[in-house]
Chains A and B, each alone.
Chain A
Amino acid sequence: MTAQLLYGGAGLMLFVLGIWSFLVHEPLLRKVIALNITGAGVFHVLIAVAYRGDAAPPDPVPHALVLTGIVVAVSATALALILGARLQDSDDDA
C-alpha cells in the first residue's frame, strides 16, 4: 500500500507538472513534451494501482490500458509535430 501511494502520488505530481508546463510554455515542442509528461503521470498512477507487492502478481488490466495509452500518445504526438512542421513551412513561404 505504501509503495502504491508513493508511486501513484509521483504520478499525480507528473500530471500537474505537465499541465503547468502545457499552460505556461508557448513553443509547440514544449507543449507536446508537457502533454506526454501529463499522460505519463496518468499511466504511472495506473501502473501503481496495478502493483500488488513483490509477492502477488500485478493486475494485468491497468497494464493493458497503459499499453493502449502509450500507442495513442505517440500517434497524437506524431500528428501534432507534423502539423507544427507544416505551419512552419507556410511561415517560411510567407
Chain B
Amino acid sequence: MPEPAMTAPLVLCIVLPLLGALFATALPGRAVAVGIVTALVTAAAAVALTLAVWEQGTLHLVLGGWEPALAIALRADGIATALVLMANLVALGISVYASGYFQDAIRIRSFWPLWLLLWAALNGLFLAGDLFNLYVMLELLGISAAALGALTGNREAIAANLRYLLVGLLGSITYLLGVAFLYTAHGSLDIGILAAAIAANEQLFAVDAAAMTLMISGLALKAALFPLHFWLPPAHANAPAPVSAALSALVVKAAFYLILRLWLDVFAPVTGMAAAMLLALLGSAAVLWGSWRALRAARLKLLAAYSTVAQIGYLFLFLPLLVATPEGPARDNLLAALLLMAVTHGFAKAGFFLAAGLVQTNAGHDRIDELGGTAQRLPATTFAIALAGSALIGLPPSGSFIGKWLLMQQAIATGQWWWVVVILAGTALAAAYVFRVLSRAFGLEPTPLRFITDPRAEVPALVLALVSVAVLGLASGPLWTLLGLSGADA
C-alpha cells in the first residue's frame, strides 16, 4: 500500500472540484470567487498528480481498505495522467474566461456549481478503476453537461441538449448492460481483476465480445462517432461559449478515453482486426463528413462543432494500427501519437470555441460570411483562431502535425495505406474550413488600436491555442516519458 501522501492527489483531483461545487451551490452570491479558487487548487492537484506519476509511474489506490474485489479503486497511469493534465489546464482556462463571460446573476449562480460538478466527473472518469463507478461518472458528466448546454435558455439550446441528455442516457444504459454481463461471467467490477479474468477464460469469448460490443456502442454514442454524431453539432453550437469549449474539448474526449481504456486494458484479448476496422471505418466517415459539414457551416460555432466530429474520427483510425503493430517502439510511438492528437485537439478546440465566443459577443452574431474586419477589432482573438485552426489542420509545429505524421507512417508500415488517403483528405478539408474563416476575418478595415482589448477573456483563448501549437509540438518529448514508453522521440 503506497503512502497516503503520494496517492492524495488522486483523491484531491476529484474531491476538490466536488467541494467547490457544493460551496458554489450553498453560497450563490460568492459563486465566482469559489469557482476561481476551486479552479486554481484543482489544477494544482492535477499538476501534483502529474509529478507523482512522472516520478513513480502508475498510482493505484483502493478506497475503503477492503479487498480490491470488494472496493472501488482509483488509478492513474500515463494515459490517464496526460488527459487529466490537459483537461485541468483547459478547464482552468475556461474558468478564467467564464468568470467574465456570464453577466446576469442567475446564469452565474447556475453555471459555477454545474461546471465544477462536470469537472469532478471528468477527473473521476479519467481516474476510475471500476466499471460501475465509471457508469456513475458517465451519468454525472452527461447530466451536468446537458444542463450546462441548455444554459443559454433559447429554444434551440434546450431542444438540442434535451436530445443530448436522452441519447447520453441510452448510451450509458447500454454500457451498463455490458457491465452486468461482465459481472455475471467474471464476478468482478474492477478493471484490473476483469482484465486478468478475461485473459484467463478464453472459452468465454462470446460473452466478453458481447459485453465489449454493448459497452463500446454505448460509449460511441456519447463520443459522437459517425453515424451516432447527429446530436453533437446543435448541442455544442448552441451552448454558451465556455460550455461549448468544455463539451467539445473535454466531455467528448472522456467518452473516447473510456473506449480506449476498455480496448487496451480490459478487452485486449477479445479485440480483433474486424472490430478495429469497423470502428476505423466509421472514424474515416466522421473525418470526411465532419470536415465537409464544417466547410459548409454558416456559423462559426457550428463549424467548430462539426470539426469536433471530424477530430474524434481521427482518434478511431489508430485502433486497427494498434492491432496490427506488435509490442515495441513502433506501437509506443503510435500510442503516444494518439494521445498527442487527443491532447492537442483538447487545447486547440477549447481555444477555438472561446475565441469564437468573443467574436460572437463582439459582433452580436457568429455568421461566418459577415465577420469582415474581425481581425482589426479583435486582433488577439483572431490570432487565437488562426493558431487553434493551424492545430486543427495539423500544420507544423503543432502537436497534431506530429500525431498525424506518426499515424500515416505506421499506416504505411502496416500496409493499411488507405487511411493515409482519409487523413490527407481530412487535412485538406480542414485547411479549407479554417482559411475560409480567416479570409473573412481579415477583411479590409482600419488598422487595429490594441492587440488585446479584454485580457480576462482573450488571454485564455490565446494561451490554450498557443499551447496546442507551440508547447505540444516543440516539446512533446515529455509525453513519452509520462506514458512510460520506450519509443524513439519524434
Contact = CB atoms under 8 A, between A and B. Distances in A.
A84 interface: yes
A15 interface: yes
Contacts of B189: 61
Interface residues of B, number: 27
A26 to B, nearest CB: 12
B467 interface: no
Contacts of B170: 19, 22, 35, 38
B388 interface: no
B161 A83 contact: yes
A80 B132 contact: no
A87 B139 CA distance: 22
Nearest to A90: B155
Contact of B180 (A28, A49, A91): A49
B173 A42 contact: yes
Interface in B81-109: none
A80 B165 contact: yes
B158 A35 contact: no
Contacts of B155: 87, 90-91, 94
B184 interface: yes
Interface size class of A (residues with CB under 8 A): 20 to 34
Contact of A62 (B161, B173, B183): B183
Q: Is the interface of A mostly helix, strand, loop or mixed?
A: helix
Contact of B184 (A39, A49, A72): A49
A92 to B, nearest CB: 11
Contacts of A15: 173, 177
Per CB-CB distance, the 6 closest pairs between chain A and chain B, nearest first, are: A83-B162, A90-B155, A42-B177, A72-B139, A49-B184, A45-B180
Interface of B: 70, 132, 135-136, 139, 142-143, 146-147, 150, 154-155, 158-159, 161-162, 165-166, 169-170, 173, 176-177, 180, 183-184, 189
Interface of A: 8, 15, 19, 22, 28, 31-32, 35, 38-39, 41-42, 45-46, 49, 61-62, 65, 68-69, 72, 75-76, 79-80, 83-84, 86-87, 90-91, 94
10 contacts: A28-B162, A32-B166, A62-B180, A80-B166, A83-B146, A83-B150, A83-B158, A87-B158, A87-B162, A90-B155
